[in-house]
Structure 1
Amino acid sequence: MFMVGRRDLKSTHEDAVIRGFIEHLKARGSLVKIIGKPEPPDAIVDIDGKKTWIEVTDAFLDQAHAIGLTSGASDDVTHRSDSRRLIIDPDDTFRESLLTVIDKKYSKASIQAVARANGPGILLVGIFTPFNTATGIASEEQCSIGNLAKKNSIQVFSQIYVYDGTGNRTFLLVYQNA
């Protein structure tokens, strides 16, 4: 297994997600080119002649699950297992986590500044829960994600996609500003 330092894990993950998203768009006939990676955002891209930007975030079942997954992929921290514990109301727990990470991106001053300077971008949200998939989340949470996006006074994202954080990455559009 390929291991990286904890500090490099985020960047390596974001690069892989962006590459996967670009392949997703290309498979649907789009022409995509990475223009830059200023951080923030995670990437500035040209999609079919239109300049936009991409931000990547992850929604984990909860903090213990996040630590269990990320410590297992890092070579400079001790792995902390996330097994043998009881999860009460996993759907509600994950829904709260999902909406919180999206709301944090909307509220983050640096991301708002990017949106003001470049227009609304694209948010890619990794789904990391053993109790559901991106397909299930796209179906079950599309309305709540759309409501969250619409309640914000600043239009930060024109599109929000979810994807399975592990396994095959299929990107599913859950919000698009009309």
Structure 2
Amino acid sequence: MQMTLHKRVGPSWNAVMLAALTGLVAGQASAQGIVYRCPGPPVLYTDAMSAKEAADKGCRSIEGTPISVIAPIKPRAPAATTPSPGAQSGDLKVDGKDQRVRDDDRRRILEQELRDAEGKLAKAQQEYNNGQPERRGDERNFQKYLDRTTELKASVSRQEADVAAIKRELAKLPPPNL
């Protein structure tokens, strides 16, 4: 498209023609750059269709919508494993003596936890009082008393489960070394 502007037409005519020409070029450039988002199981983003095609397929223009580009996460390189100080470079097994020490430490810790859990269980059972805990002064409303009784029963159940779990862990350990 070739257009010549003549001087005999006034300067305002030149400005109008220049503005029209600029608008035409800008309109063509933006028509080619409109990106449409089309619905469907695979959501499609495209700029290769006309406005009529986009309207027929139910696509919407995403012009003016902020677009986020997320970089893919690079997988980390596996960490190099270093052998423990007691193990040699090719040997991944723990020495029998070291394992016995570890087992004894674990048994000692579990036995301490068992004593603590049994103490908490005894305290919870005493406060629960076989489903008849003593009423407190702030429990004038009977529902508050019932709620506290339910909480105490749940606490006793949790403590019993904790004691049983610790006993199971202790049973998994080899017998203690005397």
Shorter-chain TM-score: which interval?
A: under 0.3
* TM-score normalised by structure 1 residue count: 0.21
* TM-score (ref. length: structure 2): 0.21
Rg comparison, structure with higher value: 2
- The higher relative CO (CA closer than 8 Å, separation ≥ 6) is in 1
Structure number with the higher helix fraction is 2
